[in-house]
């Protein structure tokens, strides 16, 4: 597992299990078991501690999603901490900003989960109209994430040096 961490990220590994559960749940249905894990794992990796808008087809997985997100948030913070090696003073300034940043990422995360679960639920009968809406929502998600990252740049700059800030944004990009 530790060999895969740099490539997949902890969140992807944890959420592969949720994807597997979703695949098992959908066994024998129209949704292919080999695609469901990838769809769910890819979409659920952003942090959020509250329940996302999961497609009703996967509503019985809400508890598993919440559990995985709690684990992911803890693992993510550990990876950021290890990657940045902050001094006590830097940490005192950085972590409150980081915690607020992660809370603000929740809305974008919820939209991504909705897009992924809607796609998975409609995989074999996807219409042009729904596909267009999913693409629009996906791009809204990307815009929200970029806007948040830009809006927090100044706040993070006040907390840590530029070299560590660049490292943080690289870590964020990989998680």
For the chain, the residue count is 175
Distances (CA, A) of 8 to 3, 23, 160, 172: 9, 20, 27, 13
Torsion sign across C-alpha atoms 77, 80, 82, 88: negative
Look over the chain and give the mean of its residue pLDDT values, rounded to a whole number.
76
pTM equals 0.66
Tell the residue number behind the tokens 């909705």, with chain if given.
114
pLDDT tens-place string over residues 87-144: 999 999 999 999 999 989 877 788 888 898 889 888 999 999 999 999 999 999 999 9
Which candidate, 72, 24, 63, 21, places its Cα nearest to that of 44? 72
- State yes or no: pLDDT of 79 exceeds 60: yes
Distances (CA, A) of 38 to 21, 55, 133: 12, 16, 20
- State yes or no: pLDDT of 16 exceeds 60: no
């Amino acid at each position: 597992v530790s060999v895969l961490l740099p490539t997949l990220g902890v969140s992807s590994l944890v959420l592969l299990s949720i994807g597997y559960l979703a695949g098992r749940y959908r066994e024998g249905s129209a949704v292919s078991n080999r695609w469901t894990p990838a769809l769910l794992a890819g979409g659920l990796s952003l942090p959020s501690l509250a329940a996302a808008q999961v497609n009703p087809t996967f509503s019985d997985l809400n508890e598993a999603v919440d559990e995985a997100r709690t684990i992911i948030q803890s693992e993510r913070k550990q990876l950021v901490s290890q990657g940045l090696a902050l001094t006590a003073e830097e940490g005192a300034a950085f972590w409150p900003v980081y915690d607020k940043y992660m809370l603000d990422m929740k809305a974008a995360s919820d939209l991504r989960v909705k897009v992924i679960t809607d796609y998975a639920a409609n995989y074999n009968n996807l219409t042009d109209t729904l596909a267009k809406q999913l693409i629009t929502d996906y791009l809204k998600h990307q815009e929200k994430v970029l806007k948040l990252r830009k809006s927090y740049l100044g706040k993070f700059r006040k907390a840590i040096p530029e070299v560590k800030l660049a490292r943080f944004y690289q870590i964020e990009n990989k998680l």
